[in-house]
A and B are shown apart, each in its own frame.
Chain A
């Protein structure tokens, strides 16, 4: 399950946010603290996660402490899918 979430997330981030569809993102790479995803795109990412997985990420959770890598985001989504 986690792998498919990772692929969907990576695809979205590289094609829609970074506009480089061929770009590979390491699952441990820092997304937020590195500045790869800016605050505006972060909201878009939250909306995408909400639409795709039906999992809500709150406004106050959109920061590097809640998730900072693809792995962490996938884990967050998974933990909420289980509930």
Chain B
């Protein structure tokens, strides 16, 4: 998001927060509009329209998959349904209004859009009719969301799809590596997966269409999280809104701090951040470390700044989004680092992957040794978290790096627990141990960023050799 976009959305958030009635529908309207407005330029102009529609369609179908009898009556939901359809049609009609400053005017013909909307309405009806009868619908929903996720995140698969689209449009077929960005999908997909899984296990509260959409596509957290939990979000949404002076102060300071972190600190650090070219050019070990640290702080300030902005904007509308960061670089071990870095994502993986797998392995008739269970679960969780960022070797190695780090730290803690020397139990001893822990953890994380940031493992390896003066 640009500063202008953030400013406009923050003003809209202030207005929504002041509405005496209709907060949910107003939020829904702005969130829906924002999906179209924020969608970055696409090589295929029609995707500027169809990708946002796909985001809305997939959310609609997942609502149908997860809705219960208490929350899906037409009487409850027609205003939200009508609003969604109206905004899609309005965006389409920009081919006539031609307000290019806001949105492309090269949208499809109205008949096509209306036909798609009609098809979606029919499909929604069919799913609502059958989902409670046959659980295969929910399983298919999970599989479809994950499949799309894998395609979008795997560069080779994505360029195949792009190539196919290029051919389909009869455009120049020479360049098949045109990027395709489905804005917000990584975050929306994980929110939708959470609702389907909770529906399967009977823990999802009944959600109306407006509640479900506000949760899934809430504009402050649409592009970069945090990934909230539906029941928590909707509880906030249903509470009567009274903004106190403290709320205003909190919201304002979060927005200000977020903007400063992202657009001043992170953007300045960008000049010093380690890049592929720098790895090739830099000869001095000292500079390599400076560039690496600059990157480590840049990614923190950029991402946590984004989260601050999202949280501040949410507060303006009476929604407390979950925190994503809690001073991660000041933690004295890797476990604590991961308890305070991108927390909403790690909690998602704990809830839907790590905990169920660990529980199953621990309750098995013939359980594996503890160390092996920890090894398997830690590494697989971290590799999956790596792959969430993109299905590439670099992200997989980054996950592996952290998985192995967590495993070694776990075993070390287990070993040292009963063997802590007397000096380390004194107050000053604890301070020294903690300071050493922070230093070690930060550097481990910083070196790990090489695999995350640089474009190939070979470059990362070269950087590592330069960092440690082997080359």
Contact = CB atoms under 8 A, between A and B. Distances in A.
B373 A40 contact: yes
Contacts of A60: 198, 203, 229, 351-352, 355
Interface stretch (A2-10, A43-51, A72-80): A43-51
Interface in B409-427: 410, 413-414, 417-418
A39 B354 contact: yes
A32 B417 CA distance: 17
Interface in A35-69: 35, 38-40, 42-44, 46-47, 58-60, 62-63
Contacts of B362: 43-44, 47
A12 to B, nearest CB: 14
A19 B355 contact: no
B333 interface: yes
B229 A35 contact: no
Contact of B356 (A19, A35, A47, A59): A59
Interface in A1-30: 18-20
A35 B418 contact: no
A38 B347 CA distance: 13
A47 B359 CA distance: 8
Contacts of A62: 350-351, 355
B121 to A, nearest CB: 32
Contacts of A35: 333, 335-336, 339
Contact of A63 (B347, B363, B378, B418): B347
Given A19-B417, A39-B350, A59 B335 contact: no
Interface string B327-361: 00000010110010000000100111011101100
A43 B418 CA distance: 22
Contacts of B356: 59
Nearest to B338: A39
B132 interface: no
Contact of B359 (A18, A20, A32, A43): A43
Interface residue range, chain A: 10 to 19
A39 B377 CA distance: 10
A43 B354 CA distance: 9
B350 A63 contact: yes
Contacts of A42: 355
Contacts of A39: 335, 350, 354-355, 358
Contacts of B347: 63
Contacts of A58: 201, 203
Contacts of B358: 39-40, 43
Contacts of B333: 35
B374 interface: yes
A63 B335 CA distance: 14
Nearest to B229: A60
Given A18-B417, A19-B418, A62-B350, A38 B335 contact: yes
The 6 closest A-B pairs by CB, nearest first: A59-B355, A60-B351, A43-B358, A35-B336, A59-B356, A40-B374
Interface of B: 198, 201, 203, 229, 333, 335-336, 339, 347, 350-352, 354-356, 358-359, 362-363, 373-374, 377-378, 410, 413-414, 417-418
